[in-house]
Amino acid sequence: MPAGLELCNGCHERTNPEEFARWTQRERAIHRAAAQADLPEASLLEQALQSGLPPCCGVALGLNARS
C-alpha cells in the first residue's frame, strides 16, 4: 500500500438531468431496501441540471466530531 493519506477524492459531477434522475431513483431504492434514511431532496441541483449546468467537478470531505 502506498504511503500517504487521501483526504478526499475528486469526481466529475453528473450534468445530464435524465441520468441524474435514474441515479437518484436507484439510490433511493437501495436506501429503502436497506432501511436507511432517504436521500435529501435535490431540487436546486435538479433545476440547475434542467437549465444546462456546465461540466464541473468537486470533492467532498466529511468530518465526524466526537464529543
In a domain, 63, yes or no: no
Total structural domains in the chain? 1
pLDDT in tens, 35-65: 988 878 878 888 889 999 888 888 888 777 7
Residues 60, 13: contact at Cβ < 8 Å? no
pTM of the model: 0.62
In a domain, 7, yes or no: no
pLDDT in tens, 8-28: 878 888 899 999 899 989 999
Domain interval for residue 20: 12-53
Distance (Å, rounded) from C-alpha 29 to C-alpha 21? 12
In a domain, 59, yes or no: no
